[in-house]
Amino acid sequence: MIDFILKENRCNLTVDLSIFNERVLSKVIYCLSGDYLVYQQNLENNIQFIMLEKKQGILSSDEFQLLKQKINQLLIDYKNRDIINLETKNIRDILYVKAFTNNDDFEDFNLMD
Amino acid sequence: MYYLLPFRFERLKDKEIIVNEVGDYLIIDRNTVDRIVSRKISPDEELYKDLITSFFISETVVPPLIDNYATRLRTKKSFMDGFTSLHIFVLTLRCNQNCLYCQASAKEHNALQYDMKKEDLSRAIDLMFKSPSHSVTMEFQGGEPTLTPDLLTYAVLEAETRNKLYKKQITYVLCTNSVSLSDRVINICNEYRILISTSLDGPEFLHNRNRGKTDSYQKVVAGITKARTVLGEDRVSALMTTSEYSLDYPAEIINSYLENGFHSIFLRPLNPYGLAAENDDWDLYFDRFVEFYKRSLEYIIQLNKEGTFFIEEFAALLLRKILTPFPNGFVDLQSPSGIINGVIVYNYDGYVYASDESRMLAEYNDYSFRSGHVSDKYENIFYGRKTQELAQIWITEGIAGCSDCAFQSYCGADPVRNYSTQGDSYGFRPTSSFCKKHKSIISYIISLLTEREDEVLPIFKKWLRRNEG
């Protein structure tokens, strides 16, 4: 699923994109990019290689362990957020249309049918 | 089987918080979000009913009460109905104090070239009356606006005269340091019901140090007393600014507000504009400010528990968003952002800016948020190209780092602050001090509501009732 390696002040990982898609990965990387420089490369078999290089200071083995936990947590959370966003996109649109359209001109379809 | 409805979540210590589209929240056990998303919540569980009634899940594709939910969403965003309601008039940049953290780039008290021209003031009043908002606030700022009593009088008289046609509800606010409130100014305030908003940073030693004067505190307190005597106690309010030096004195600052007869305080951090922008380390300052805020709020809660009614206004603003169906009207915590939508600034030189902070940038020759000139058409200023550009980045629902944030409903977008601190109006949330500060304080308030509900909720409800009253 995810493989981590600590190498020369860098955290290298490979992620299976069939499990965590590009949208999820992009958001995880965004969260980390305040502290790390990020390099990404698509490999064969739907695998993405990511290299995180700490912007300031040395990435110790303790920090590496914490970073692994954080990345795992972020991946799980953003995958859930992605599912919620995808599954609720239409109902959210309906909610906002109902809330903000001019009701005088709005034909209220029977959405319950 | 159930359907998901839109919601956002965040981890809090050993719990999770889920927040729906209108800001209703539930605190749930760790990994419950994963169970919700995986459809593992059974109808037999108490949580299932809570999730249904709070619009986190639905048993039908479209929840039966979606119209009620839509009405609540519209209510939450009702601050947009009136468009720009706060109109700030910078009557002069001249000032009679030397504040260490001056955010308004004040000038010497005799530098008359920094006063607003009457014709520009007249045009600015015209623009204010074109606002669709029925209720407008005309706020006079500086520099020190009491140094220009003629302009103040002219502005109020012109507004009163023109309002015979427009019939708007006008609230006047005079932002003054109160060190030289003349009888003339007080009489103007009395005649036209002008509210006074003054500055008091805390006890004498701290206030004087912040103001760069040895007698500022005595003068401010004398000014406050004079204003209260004529105008009434409820017509005078005070704001404090937390300098780096202030951070060590939370109890002393709050005590000084109590001693001076105030029933609330707005714990306000420095903003990175003007002289304050020269601060060395903003990350450290905001870390310390959050700790200062928590200590202060604890002290205020303790005071309330002991029978002294005293409000922390920033917490009250957040609580109104968290606990009530209504928006709070605070332009710094809005999405769409308060700039232009809630506030506009007519600067002393006739130029119009998207917010108070925007005109502060202009004093450092950065005109990025200049929306036009008072001689321009209303439409070109308020709906022009600059506004359209800002509109693309002024909603938390649509910008990276905010769109997935559980606290989105309680927070706001601030492109001017992003630009000032990060050099980019869009902003970068992972290193944003604005984001860090708000997340920390909102998390803290949520933790109080969750872990100490019996202790704090009665106090917070009293604060909200006062605000609604």
- pLDDT value at residue A85: 97
Q: Which of residues 34-53 of B touch A (CB under 8 A)?
A: 34, 37
Q: Which of B4, B9, B404 sits opposite A87 (nearest CB)?
A: B4
What is the ipTM for the molecules in this complex?
Answer: 0.89
Residue A31 at interface with chain B, using a CB cutoff of 8 Å: yes
Closest alpha carbon within chain B to A28: B401
Q: Which residues of A touch B66 (CB under 8 A)?
A: 91, 94-95, 98, 111
DSSP B117: P
The whole-angstrom distance between residue B238's C-alpha and the CA centroid of its chain comes to 14
Least confident of A4-13, B268-277, B380-389, B397-406: B268-277
Say yes or no for a CB contact (<8 Å) between A88 and B404: no
Task: Pull the structure tokens for residue A33.
Answer: 């990019």
Question: What distances in angstroms separate CA A23 from CA A63, A80, B282, one per listed residue?
Answer: 26, 12, 32
Sign of CA dihedral B89, B93, B96, B102: positive
Average of per-residue pLDDT across A23-40: 96
Say yes or no for a CB contact (<8 Å) between B9 and A81: yes
Binning pLDDT at 50, 70 and 90, where does residue A7 land? Answer: confident
DSSP B52: H
Closest alpha carbon within chain B to A99: B70
Closest CA to B8 of A78, A19, A27: A78
pLDDT digits (tens, 9 = 90+) for B302-326: 999 999 999 999 999 999 999 999 9
pTM: 0.92
Substitution target from A81, A106, A110 for chain B, most B beta carbons within 10 A: A81
Closest alpha carbon within chain B to A36: B430
pLDDT digits (tens, 9 = 90+) for A68-79: 999 999 999 999
Say yes or no for a CB contact (<8 Å) between B401 and A84: no
pLDDT digits (tens, 9 = 90+) for B208-218: 998 888 888 99
Beta carbons of B194 and B234 less than 8 angstroms apart? no
* Share of residues in chain B with pLDDT > 70 (%): 95
Say yes or no for a CB contact (<8 Å) between B431 and A77: no
Closest alpha carbon within chain A to B432: A34
| Strand order across the A36-42 sheet | A2-7, A10-16, A47-54, A36-42
Higher pLDDT, B420 or B101: B420
Distance CA B392, CA B401 (A): 15
- Measured in angstroms, the CA of B37 and the nearest CA of chain A are apart by 7
Distance CA B418, CA B426 (A): 7
pLDDT over 90 at A12, yes or no: yes
* Share of residues in chain A with pLDDT > 90 (%): 74
- Measured in angstroms, the CA of B414 and the nearest CA of chain A are apart by 19
Q: Which of B4, B74, B428 sits opposite A99 (nearest CB)?
A: B74
Beta carbons of B410 and B318 less than 8 angstroms apart? yes
Q: Which residues of B touch A82 (CB under 8 A)?
A: none
- pLDDT value at residue B171: 97
- pLDDT value at residue B450: 95
Which residues are within 8 A (CB) of B394 and not within 5 positions of it... i.e. 6 or more apart?
B335, B336, B337, B339, B341, B413, B415
- pLDDT value at residue B466: 82
Binning pLDDT at 50, 70 and 90, where does residue B469 land? Answer: very low
Beta carbons of B220 and B207 less than 8 angstroms apart? yes
Residue A43 at interface with chain B, using a CB cutoff of 8 Å: no
Residue A27 at interface with chain B, using a CB cutoff of 8 Å: yes
Say yes or no for a CB contact (<8 Å) between A111 and B66: yes
pLDDT digits (tens, 9 = 90+) for B227-261: 999 999 999 999 999 999 999 999 999 999 999 99
- pLDDT value at residue A111: 56
Least confident of B292-296, B327-331, B379-383: B327-331
DSSP H or E segment with residue B236: strand B236-239
Q: Which residues of B touch A76 (CB under 8 A)?
A: 34
